[in-house]
Amino acid sequence: MLTDFAALVWVVYGTQLLWFGLGNAQLAAGRDSRISDLSYWAFSAILIVTWMWSLAFVESRSDRVIGTGSAEYVRIADASFRLFGTVAIIAFLAQIDLARGYLLVSLPLGILVLCFTRWMWRQWLVVQRSRGRYSAHVLLVGSLPSVTQLAREFARNPSAGYRVVGACVPNGKTADTIPGTSIPVMGHVGDVTRALQATSADTVAITSADELPAEKVKEISWSLEAGRQHLVLAPSIVDIAGPRLHTRPVAGLPLIHVETPKFSRGQSFLKRSVDLLAASVGVVLLSPILLFLAIAVRLSSEGPVLFRQIRVGFRGREFTMFKFRSMVVNAEELRAQLAAQHRDSGNEVLFKMKNDPRVTPIGRVMRKFSLDELPQLFNVIGGSMSLVGPRPPLPSEVAVYADHVHRRFLAKPGITGLWQVSGRSSLSWEDSVRLDLSYVENWTLLGDFVILGKTARAALAPGETAA
């Protein structure tokens, strides 16, 4: 709250000083209005207070939105636009001639600064939550498989702010733990009240309604301490974005409506326009680097500068993907031998290995910073790829795809994507598919910008390379 207040004071009074200087400028109003006696110094103070109230009214600092997702930023923008819309209406009805430039600068600048300060706090909160601080203490209730899955997801995403302290499962014994974790089993599903007291949990997450009758769920909700303990229901719906989920109460039952993915021509045109503009600008700006890398590859080892490979793209169509050659010339011939020796036990489709002996010295440097993928900008300009999208697979990989995996071809493959900013070569095949399908079904332009930002950060602090 203090940083919000400081940000608004800086923005509003800074804009006022920029517009009017240190003078005591007055509001211009009609003859019969007494508002003309109000100075901009006082009006700015009123604007700051009402802006703070608007942020509180939309619950932009609620525990449910702080620290993860885009809802926090959306609420900031929503509160700000509503406030300035109200100010404009009042000014029109009261015949107050507000300085338009003062408002037109304060609104967007205020939103940007507020979002930036919230983002800074979020980075701090992510670090703290990774250390187990400022997180909800969760008691999981449900079947063993569903509890295990949710526990692993929470452990994989500590920034979400959920720390599992115990679980209640059918036929659970207090000496047991959840498989693959150190989470203690606090008893069976009927021991929730006792488990809450033993673990001091402030959140109960029910993962499987089949194990609990409706009356038992009500009893659990009634037993929770109002304002301190919360009840969360985790349905078996995964990788569905919030805008596609709608809750509708019918006869006392909260029904969850899931909208089917929409792939409109307008969205495709917007994405293509951004791709074409950004890739064209990127080629121009990066042309010195592209030339330097081309010379370095040519001088470092025998073979062509570019590596061309057939990949499968949009709607299952094959295309030629370009990369700077980072391996020896006979890399594909060695692939089968290495695949047999180093097959990833957690990945039955992709061949990925660390310290690949086929990689050349200059190739290792390029892969470390993802520079070998820069020629794919020409794929983007040509329309066979996008800046952001699913990983472009090989035809041999597609041949063993399950039917549902083919949904990834509803979008163009990308130079980067969720798969690249979420673990890259450390991901299992199942996780790679899940991330690709999640991207395809929940695409937004804002999401693309977020992924591009994470990719840039990963390139500056390189880790593993992608296949």
Domain boundaries, the chain: 2-130, 136-238, 265-460
pLDDT of residue 338: 64
Taking only the tens place, the pLDDT of each residue in 231-262 is 888 876 555 655 666 676 766 667 776 766 66
Taking only the tens place, the pLDDT of each residue in 301-335 is 888 999 999 999 999 999 999 999 988 877 666 66
Is the model more confident about 381 or about 217?
381
pLDDT at position 277 over 90? yes
Encoded amino acid at 454, one letter? K
Helix axes 265-300, 445-460, angle to 10 degrees: 20
What is the three-class DSSP state of 300?
helix
Using CA atoms, how far apart are residues 414 and 443, in angstroms rounded to an integer?
A: 13
Residue whose tokens read 């901009």: 40
Mean pLDDT (the chain, rounded): 83
Residues whose CB is less than 8 angstroms from the CB of residue 385 and which lie 6 or more positions away in sequence, other chains included: 313, 319, 321, 376, 379, 392, 412, 413, 414, 415
Is the model more confident about 422 or about 128?
128
Taking only the tens place, the pLDDT of each residue in 72-113 is 898 999 999 999 999 888 888 877 778 888 888 999 999 999
Mean pLDDT of 136-162: 86
Strands (E) located in 181-283: 185-187, 203-206, 230-233, 245-250, 253-258
Residue whose tokens read 């790679």: 432
Phi, psi of 372, deg, nearest 5:
-65, -15
Superfamily of domain 136-238: Nitrogenase molybdenum iron protein domain (3.40.50.1980)
Using CA atoms, how far apart are residues 352 and 339, in angstroms rounded to an integer?
A: 8
DSSP assigned state of 170? T
Sorting pLDDT into bands at 50, 70 and 90, what band is 385? very high
pLDDT at position 345 over 50? no
